[in-house]
Amino acid sequence: MKQQQVIDHSIPKTNEKKYFYFVLIAALINGTLWFVAGMTNKNYPLRGAGQSLIGKFLILYLGIIFFGFILGLLVSLISFKGLSFGRKYIRSSLLSILALSVVLLIFIIRSIVMFS
C-alpha cells in the first residue's frame, strides 16, 4: 500500500504582533513628519485656520484606524482561507491600517517637498 503525501496549503500562522509593531512605527514616523512639516512651514496645506495641528492629527489618525478596520472587514471576507474569522479580521485590519499609513506617509513627504 502506497503512502499518500499530505500537502499543507494553509497560510502559515504569522504573529500579528509584528504587524502591530509595523503599524506603530509607521504612526510614529508619520506623526513626527507631520509635526515637523506643520511647525516649520506656514504654507503647509494640512494646517488650516480654525483648527489646531494636533486636532487635525487626531482626526486623521482616528480616520485611518476606522477606515482600516472597515477595509479589513471587507478583505477578511475574501482572503486568508484556513484561519478563523477573528484572526483573518485582525490580520487584514492591521495590514489595511499599515497600507493607509504608508499612503499618508507618501502624502506627507510629497507635501514637505512641494511646500518647503
- Residue 1: its pLDDT value, please? 54
The residue with cell 477573528 is 86
Residue 96 banded pLDDT, cuts 50, 70, 90: very high
Number of folded domains in the chain? 1
DSSP character at residue 115: T
For residue 12, being part of any structural domain is answered with no
Contact between 80 and 88 (Cβ < 8 Å): yes
For residue 35, being part of any structural domain is answered with yes
| Nearest-angstrom CA–CA distance, 70 and 62 | 12
| Nearest-angstrom CA–CA distance, 114 and 15 | 38
- Residue 99: its pLDDT value, please? 92
- Residue 104: its pLDDT value, please? 85
Give the tens place of pLDDT for each residue, 13-71.
Answer: 566 788 888 888 988 888 788 777 766 666 555 555 456 667 777 777 888 889 999 99
CA distances from 24 to 61, 75, 78 (A): 12, 21, 26
- 38-42, 94-98, 112-116, range with the lowest pLDDT: 38-42
DSSP character at residue 52: -
Give the range of the structural domain holding residue 23, as residue numbers without chain letter: 17-114
For residue 55, being part of any structural domain is answered with yes
For residue 4, being part of any structural domain is answered with no
